[in-house]
Structure formats: structure tokens, C-alpha cells
Structure 1
Amino acid sequence: MTTVINKKPKSTVLPRSRDATTLLRADHQLLSELFNLYERASTNAMKKKLVGQICMELSVHAQVEEEIFYPAVKQALKDHELVPEAFIEHETLRSLIAQIEGVEPDGEMFDAKVKVLCEYVEHHVKEEQSEMFPKAKATQLNMMELGDKITARKQELIAERS
């Protein structure tokens, strides 16, 4: 069985207008798939390519959340807990990304960093999807408008990184 990792990341083909939480959930699913592929990767070249995809997807995702989604949610919910915590979690994610992005996979310590990043992302995703997203959807926020803004910004960020 051949694992396909030469395909472009799915985010480079952005969907037409969808609501913000649907777009963010799709990002979460893509990241989960990429981490699963990493776990099964058998060569350092495969691992390096997957880590590059993971870091790009995660960086773009975090940036659109911070620039567009989180400020809107913070204002709508008058939140002083969920959003600040999410920002802090993103800082930790950036630190882990900096330790693996562009680095040659060199064994167990590199794999451990990717594993910790995966676990941290899983924790963050669980909180967003079970706490933040339902609360945000219960507000008067226009999720389609936010989704359009997220899609446009992702296109810009992906173009900058290409």
C-alpha cells in the first residue's frame, strides 16, 4: 500500500462560502489526517514533507483564527476566558512549530516533538469544538460572513507562503 503525500495540502483548494466553524473544523480534520500520515511515515523525507505541510496548515489556521474568528467571538460572547486561553495555546503551538519547521527529522527527539504538537493540537481542537464553537454559534454572529473573511485571508496567507 502506498501512502500519498505528494498531493497538495487540501487547504490550497479552498471551498466556496461556508460558515466559519465548518471551515475551522475542516482545518482540524486535515491536521488530524496529516498527523496520522506522519505516524505512519517510513522515511525521513516523508516525515519532513509532512511536517512542512503540518506547520503551514497550522500556522495559517492559527493566524486566521487570531485575526478574524477569535476577536469576533470575544466581542460577541464578552469572553474573558475561552479566547485568551486559545491565544495562549497558539503561542505554545508556535513554539513547537519553531522547533520542527525546516528541521531534518533526526530521530526520537524530533518524533517526540511532533507527537507533543499533535497531542497539543488535539487538546486545543477538543476545547474549540466542544466549548467555543457551540457558544459562538449561539450568538448573533454571522458565521457565513466570518467564513468568507476566513477563506479570503487563508488564500492570501497561502499565496504568501507559496
Structure 2
Amino acid sequence: MTTVTSKPSKLDSLPKAQDATVLLRADHTLVSGLFADYEKKPSPVKKKQLVAQICAELSVHAQVEEEIFYPAVKRALHDKELVPEATVEHATLRALIAEVEGVEPDGEMFDAKIKVLGEYVKHHVKEEQNEMFPKAKSTNLDMTKLGAEIAERKKALFAERSPDDFPV
């Protein structure tokens, strides 16, 4: 009898319930690593795979922040600045993603768009981690409950995406 083992899927590696900011920081670290891999000037095939994963990761991350994390933080902080600014930054990220998602990596303009996307993400991450996350943690928000909600929503969103977005 032959045993068939399947490759672990992206869904299998999603973290279980944990502090929301820990979960979001893990996303930041993952995407940072993907951008670093892209900067190593891989083959066009590998570039396309990396961009697909970057776009998928960023899209899902932004969606769970906007649906779950940001509304909770906005309520807890009575915020009228941090969350709106982060939401506007997400809109800009989506516009940049739309310019590269599913597009063949065809030279210097494509590479420049990925570079700008990476720099924009780095700026956004710095603001979240240095400003929003510490303020959110200083509230009475249940970060573990928020983390569980985020993990569940991410699982659902990744299940809706193509396996091609997550090359092994």
C-alpha cells in the first residue's frame, strides 16, 4: 500500500490564537522577507511567484486589519488619526498591488514598482509597530481574542485564494 503525503498548505501554517499584534508583526516579518528575496534579482519565474505571494499576503493582511483590528483600535482609543491614516495607506497599497498583481515581471519599471511597494510597506509597518500597536496594547482590548478573530478570518481569506499565490 502506498501512502500519499501532501505538502503542508498555507492554511496549515497559520498560527493559532495569539496576541493580535504578534500575529500582525509575523505578517510584517514574512512580507519583509519576501521583498528581500525579490531584491536578490531572482529569475523571472521566481519574481512572478514572489510577487504573487507578496500581493496575496498584503491583501489578506490589509483586509483583516480593516475588518477586525482597526475598528477595535479606533473604538478603544477613540482614534481619529492613526486608523484613518493607516486605512488611506492601505488604499495606496492596493493601487500599487493592482499595478503588479498577475503582471509578467518585464523589466526595470516592474522592478521599480516592487521597490516602491516594498518601501511603502516598510513605512506603513514602522508606523503601525511604533505607534498603533503600543497604543492598542495600552487599552483594555482583549488582544488574544482579537488575534483569534484575525487568525480565523485569515484562514478563510487564504482558502478563497489560488494555491499559485503561495508557491512552496
Q: TM-score normalized by structure 2?
A: 0.90
Verify: 1:68 aligned to 2:71, yes or no: no
Q: Which amino acid in structure 2 is aligned with residue 66 of structure 1? A: E
Question: Match of 2:22, as an amino acid?
Answer: T
**Per-residue deviation, 1:17:** 1.3
Q: Are the aligned partners of 1:62 and 1:90 in contact in 2 as well (CA < 8 Å)?
A: yes
Residues in 1 aligned to 2:58 and 2:8: alpha-carbon distance in whole angstroms: 15
Shift of the 11–57 alpha-carbon distance from structure 1 to 2, 3 Å rule, reads farther
Matched residue SS, 2:34:
helix
Q: Which amino acid aligns with 1:13?
A: S
Unaligned 5+ segments in structure 2 are 1-6, 163-168
Answering whether residue 101 of structure 2 is matched by residue 98 of structure 1, we say: no
Q: Secondary structure at the match of 1:97?
A: helix
**Max Rg structure:** 2
1:9–1:61 distance in 2 versus 1, CA, 3 Å: farther
Matched positions, count: 156
What pairs up with 1:1-162 in 2 under 5 angstroms? 13-162=13-162
**Structure with bigger RCO (C-alpha 8 Å, 6+ apart):** 2
Residues 11 and 57 in structure 1, CA contact (< 8 A), matched pair in contact too? no
The equivalent of 2:3 in structure 1 is none
CA distance in 1, matches of 2:61, 2:119: 17
Mark the CA change 1:128 to 1:9 in structure 2 (over 3 Å): closer, same or farther: farther
2:80 is aligned with what amino acid? Answer: H
Shift of 1:15: 1.1
Give the TM-score taking structure 1 as reference length: 0.93
